[in-house]
Structure 1
Amino acid sequence: MNKTIIISILLFAFLTSNAQQKKIWNETKKEKTERLAWWTNDRFGMFVHWGTYSLAGRHEWVKKREKISDDVYQKYFDNFNPDLYNPQEWAKLAKAAGMKYAVITTKHHEGFTLFDSKYTEYKVTNTPYGKDALKEWVDAFRAEGLKIGFYYSIIDWHHPQYTIDRVHPLAPNTDKEYKELNKNRDMTIYREYLRNQVTEILTNYGKVDMLWLDYSISGKHGKGREDWGSVELMKLIRKLQPEIIVNDRLDLKEYAGGWDFTTPEQFKVNEWPTYNGEKIPWETCQTFSGSWGYYRDELTWKDNKQLLVLLIESVSKGGNVLLNVGPTGRGEIDYRAESALLQMGDWMKYNGKSIYGCTQAPEEFEVPDNSLLTYNSKTNRLYIHLLDYPLQNFTLKGMKGKIKYAQFLHDMSEIQIATRHGAWGKEELAEQDVNLRLPVVKPNIEIPVIEIILNEKN
């Protein structure tokens, strides 16, 4: 056989084998789009970080930040008794804010589980509270018609076999110290524990709509897919809950089926995120302040307009927002978070149509100054969010012949369309532009929204 042909066959076999290794399951782009359809429609969800760190009241990473030993940290477990925990109130608050789904920490890095696991004693049912807090949460949120998601930390600061890495509270300074600390720890045992607990949360609580795994640690003294057994773990997840949506923190980015959406954390993206040149589903997770867990003395809280702009701008770039609350040790949503959510809910009540089912506007529509655009392709409506309210005349460039009707979204009051500027109509517009005549007084809405009903394209 020709040597060139043999080499070609071997190369093809290698590439085929490699391609097979990079696939978790078979799913077409169309099937994935349909599986994610509810999530890309709903756009806005609640994140809940709650654990024994809530008693410390100074960040969910307090054990790492202050290098607290297991013995000292045990006091938070021994005193965990959220007597005011009422997940029905949480669910009602999420719904009032306009949220459509919610994700809760079943286990955070501290290793404490909010569910009754068979594989650990470090669980909520062994605290003074004594009940499966996760089951109560699931029942409450489902009763309000909200989709449910589970956060699960693949990092674990409590498990005795979890090897010390650089984000662990016991992280030392030298390679020699790492080796010494880890000589009796076995990640094989921890990987089995990880699989067992993921199996529990995806088996014992009915249908789970989203799984939020957190997180791989790149670089020296970090952890990646081999440490977690990510490929087999994801195959298990897909088997247990075929319709579930999973984030991208298992270090499986190049694996088909290894993730569904990306997760920019605590920042606004400049443009719709891409992977291999294609736009991908994304969701930014954000806090009201600088902490995910309850932080009594943290004061850098975002105001109402900042939060609304975050939501609108994310949707304007094709993304979702998962906004976090950190309940107190007694089981109540922080009053500052509750107030912020209710304010957002006031806006969403009247302007939610510009969020749900919406995405980035087609490039043919030029974004006016001090505004953000969202677009609903099903209803063929364009939404203009006025971040700074203009004085009477509002010019839309290149919109001549495209507008069927214009109105404020909050009250459906008509906005008149003119071909000239000014009260006397003396200033001519560019040929393809139109002018909207807005009332002098800004509507009683934090960010007013103009709804443009577009003409059908020929």
Structure 2
Amino acid sequence: MKLFTTVKSLCFLIALAAVSNFSYAQQKPSKPLNELQQSFVDLKFGMFIHFNIPTYFNQDWPDPEASPEAFNPTKLNADQWAKAAKSANMAYGCITTKHHSGFCIWDTKTTNYSVMSSPYKKDVVRQFVNAFRANGLKVMLYYSILDTHHKLRPNEIQPKHIEMVKKQLTELLTNYGPIEALIIDGWDAPWSRISYDDVPFEQVYKLVKSLQPNCIMMDLNGAKYPKDGLYYTDIKTYEMGAGQRMSKDINQMPSLACLPLQSSWFWKTNMPTTAVKDPAKLVNETLVTLNKANCNFILNVAPNRDGLFDDNALAALKQIGTLWHNDGSKADFKPTSAPIIASNLAKNQPANSSWSDDMNIMDFANDDDFTSSWQSNPEVKNPWYEVDFRTPQTFNAIVIFEHKPNIKKYKLEYFANNKWNALFEGENLLRVKVNRFTSVKGEKIRMKIESYDTPPSIAEFEVYNEPR
């Protein structure tokens, strides 16, 4: 009877632990965004691990129909990865759970295109999180929205794809304990062409926060959005290998920048004999410089086909650790407002304005292209800009983006019940002018520009109905 009671108690404890792990997010109190941003940036330095089916094809983007049989890291040792990260004085690791070709390296129930259908048949994500936590390191995960194997790509997206994304993220955020951050890729990028409407960002963001409220969610969208505006991400992101750099002449946001130690993101057959980036330059010219600019740096190290880091990568990481230590200093950035996560209601809607300058007509200000602009004609003394929804829309935020801060004082009005109603009147000297207010419903929105230095222009005039 005593043995039965002991076994019964043990089973209960195991079940309780499983339930606790699953419900971690629901029970964990949410911290303010600024506090989460501060904690993230203060980590300063971490390890990106691009390891997935591309590792076995000498390509970053392999054939979408590549067989799971190719994935077989017979000597995989996640503890080696974690200890290598510690040797460089890194604070965390982040692994590619699913890259653009759709292969999942965890025990997913959503598809057979996963590590469980490979000869290896072991959950790589589980080994990664266990090893990094055991070595005192924090855990982050990477996930690609673009998925060429499952045909989640432009002109092919169906409701089943959106459900797959939600189910996969639910697995990753409920089965592996606390996740410090989630790095999203393949979304609203020029090369993926999947918009935040095709796969609704707001739904995915709210799901992530419902599962793990203290998980920072970052989308690698630095190529498109203003560097001083928080669009569809909790942290500004810069893929340095793609030429994305922070500007020094504008307010710096809490940021993340990434770069590979080796010649590319995924392992290639020539990597063991090809020189990696110079550790001293990485420390002195990249890591230290980024940290001073309120930016966390994540350095990619690609495991080989055995599931191990090459000797030259290990040596470089150890050298980095002799040159750099986290001095414990705190990032000093201005608090940000909440990120924009809703769909832009003004995008490509009928627009009107006072006299435009030559070809820079009103339609350029709501075309979802941050490089183009509506330009007021210099002869106009009291310029105005208007978006017409034709049918009443509910909204609670208006954002105006200028390439250079120029517009100073302005009024915002909305048209409802056959009259113009006031929304805002005042001064805002920023390039990204975020105006949030109690929800209203109207057919049109108008901006009257009252003071400016030079003839005003608007790169993007955006309207949102945000969740509050």
Between the aligned partners of 1:201 and 1:239, the Cα distance in structure 2 is 13
Work out whether residues 238 and 245 of structure 2, in 8 Å CA contact, stay in contact via their aligned partners in 1: yes
Between the aligned partners of 1:238 and 1:337, the Cα distance in structure 2 is 35
Task: Supply the AA of the counterpart residue of 2:217.
Answer: V
Aligned match of 2:404: none
Between the aligned partners of 1:122 and 1:82, the Cα distance in structure 2 is 16
Work out whether residues 288 and 325 of structure 1, in 8 Å CA contact, stay in contact via their aligned partners in 2: yes
In the TM superposition, what are the counterparts of 1:12-411 in structure 2 within 5 Å?
A: 31-56=32-57, 58-61=58-61, 63=62, 68=63, 70=65, 73-74=66-67, 77-160=68-151, 162-163=152-153, 165=154, 185-218=156-189, 222-249=193-220, 258-266=232-240, 267=243, 269=245, 271=247, 278-297=251-270, 299=274, 301-309=276-284, 310-348=286-324, 351-353=325-327, 356-359=328-331
Task: Supply the AA of the counterpart residue of 1:313.
Answer: T
Work out whether residues 59 and 292 of structure 1, in 8 Å CA contact, stay in contact via their aligned partners in 2: no
Runs (5+) with no aligned partner, structure 1: 1-29, 166-181, 362-458
TM-score (normalised: structure 1): 0.60
Structure (1/2) with the larger strand percentage:
2
CA shift digits 1:38-60 (9 cap, x unpaired): 2222200000000111112x232
Backbone CA RMSD of aligned residues: 2.8
Between the aligned partners of 2:332 and 2:230, the Cα distance in structure 1 is 25
Aligned match of 1:25: none
Offset at 1:336? Answer: 2.1
Between the aligned partners of 2:95 and 2:109, the Cα distance in structure 1 is 20
Work out whether residues 273 and 280 of structure 1, in 8 Å CA contact, stay in contact via their aligned partners in 2: no
Between the aligned partners of 1:214 and 1:138, the Cα distance in structure 2 is 20
Task: Supply the AA of the counterpart residue of 2:50.
Answer: H
Call closer, same or farther: CA 1:220–1:102 in 2, change over 3 Å.
closer
Offset at 1:89? Answer: 1.3
Between the aligned partners of 1:45 and 1:292, the Cα distance in structure 2 is 15
Task: Supply the AA of the counterpart residue of 1:40.
Answer: V
Runs (5+) with no aligned partner, structure 2: 1-30, 334-468
Moved more, 219-228 or 328-337: 219-228
1:120 match: secondary structure: coil
Task: Supply the AA of the counterpart residue of 2:81.
Answer: W
Between the aligned partners of 1:121 and 1:359, the Cα distance in structure 2 is 43
Equivalent pairs: percent with the same residue? 32
Aligned match of 1:11: none
Offset at 1:296? Answer: 2.2
Call closer, same or farther: CA 1:110–1:272 in 2, change over 3 Å.
same
CA shift digits 1:247-290 (9 cap, x unpaired): 1347997997942111111257354585xxx4311111011133
Call closer, same or farther: CA 1:217–1:33 in 2, change over 3 Å.
closer
Offset at 1:304? Answer: 1.7
Work out whether residues 88 and 141 of structure 1, in 8 Å CA contact, stay in contact via their aligned partners in 2: yes
Work out whether residues 89 and 321 of structure 2, in 8 Å CA contact, stay in contact via their aligned partners in 1: yes
